[in-house]
């Protein structure tokens, strides 16, 4: 049991109201949420994924067309011959100072890809051996209900539904999102090696639908990771400090229910 020590009234600001859960003598529950292994691999993966995306964008700059104002030669968003925009314009590369750095991008990408792969494989292996995959992967035997629950979480987060989803380690939407990132990581590795060694690993390149299709899958999977990163950071900010702290310390702090069972719980 964690107890906040009693303080004399003179030690408390006269113009402040002390919340009930931090009042003198209040107790709190510490709930175990994330294992040490999960926390380590989570924080290791953050700089690795950032470096892989950054170096990939340095490499992708070489696919621009100088005679066309450095427009992308490969990827665009549009329909038929009509183009809404291309990824990415030279003005964007110039603004962030990422042009003319292809050798740096190749060096970073080919070095950190091994660390990214090892960390990802270690994470998947840990989930399988520890059994934690059961709390992360959506239930395949009732996938329809899981999808409905995930949609309910989305509506609640968008303030379109008042009923709060059931509190769990991972809610239904998080299960789909986190499982999706694991699958995207696998696609990134497979297509990455298909692009890296298209001749010696020609069977892998063929499995991806050819070199150009492997590049297409690799690029849009990267865009998927970027979208997940933005959404993930937004969710962390919305969830508050307690949720962020649990990924650092492994425990989540909650006001104790007066049942005589206060303390550290699984």
Task: Show me where the domains of the chain are located.
Answer: 1-33+250-266, 34-135
The arithmetic mean of pLDDT across residues 197-216, rounded, is 92
Say which range, 25-34, 98-107, 130-139, 236-245, has the weakest mean pLDDT.
25-34
pTM of the model: 0.76
Counting other chains too, the contacts that 227-236 makes at CB distance below 8 Å and 24 or more residues apart are 228/177, 228/180, 228/181, 228/184, 229/49, 231/177, 232/177, 235/157
Per-residue pLDDT, 4: 47
Average pLDDT over residues 167-178: 87
Strand 27-32 to strand 264-265: parallel, antiparallel, or no bridges (unpaired)? parallel
Which of 264, 243, 38, 244 has the alpha carbon at shortest distance from 132? 38
pLDDT value for 74: 61
DSSP the chain: -EEPPP--GGGS-TT-PPPGGGSTT-EEEEEE-S-HHHHHHHHHHHHHHHHHHHHHHHHHGGGEEGGGTSEESS-EEEETTEEEEES--HHHHHHHT-TT-HHHHHHHHHHHHHHHHHHHHHHHHHHHHHSTHHHHS--GGGHHHHHHHHHHHHHHHTTS--SPPPP-SS-HHHHHHHHHHHHHHHHHHHHHHHHH-TTTTHHHHHHTTSHHHHHHHHHHHHHHHHHHHHHHHHHHHHH-HHHHHHHHHSEEEEEPPSSS--SEE-
* Percent of the chain at pLDDT exceeding 90: 39
The model's pLDDT over 129-161, given as tens digits with 9 standing for 90+, comes to 999 999 999 988 888 898 999 999 889 888 888
How far apart CA 44 and CA 51 sit, in angstroms, is 11
Lowest mean pLDDT among 89-93, 208-212, 245-249: 89-93
Is a pLDDT exceeding 80 seen at residue 68? no
Give whole-number Cα distances, 175 to 10, 120, 135, 170, in Å.
Answer: 48, 17, 8, 6
């Amino acid at each position: 049991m964690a107890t906040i020590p009693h303080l004399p009234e003179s030690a408390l600001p006269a113009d402040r109201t002390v919340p009930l859960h931090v009042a003198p003598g209040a107790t709190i529950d510490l709930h175990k949420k994330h294992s040490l292994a999960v926390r380590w691999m989570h924080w290791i993966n953050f700089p690795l994924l950032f470096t892989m995306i950054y170096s990939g964008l340095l490499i992708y700059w070489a696919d621009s067309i100088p005679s066309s104002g450095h427009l992308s030669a490969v990827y665009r968003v549009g329909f038929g011959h009509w183009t809404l925009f291309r990824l990415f314009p030279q003005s964007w590369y110039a603004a962030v100072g990422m042009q003319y750095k292809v050798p740096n991008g190749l060096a970073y990408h080919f070095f950190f890809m091994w660390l990214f792969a090892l960390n990802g494989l270690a994470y998947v292996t840990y989930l399988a051996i520890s059994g934690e995959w059961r709390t992360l992967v959506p239930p395949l035997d009732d996938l329809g209900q899981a999808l409905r629950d995930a949609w309910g979480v989305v509506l609640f987060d968008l303030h379109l539904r008042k009923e709060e989803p059931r509190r769990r380690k991972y809610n239904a939407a998080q299960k789909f999102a986190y499982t999706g990132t694991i699958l995207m990581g696998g696609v990134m590795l497979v297509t990455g090696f298909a692009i890296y060694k298209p001749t010696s690993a020609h069977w892998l390149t063929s499995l991806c639908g050819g070199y150009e299709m492997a590049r297409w899958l690799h690029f849009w999977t990267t865009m998927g990771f970027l979208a997940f990163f933005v959404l993930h950071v937004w969710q962390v900010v919305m969830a508050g400090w307690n949720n962020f702290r649990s990924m650092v310390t492994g425990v989540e702090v909650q006001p104790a229910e007066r049942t005589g069972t206060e303390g550290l719980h699984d």
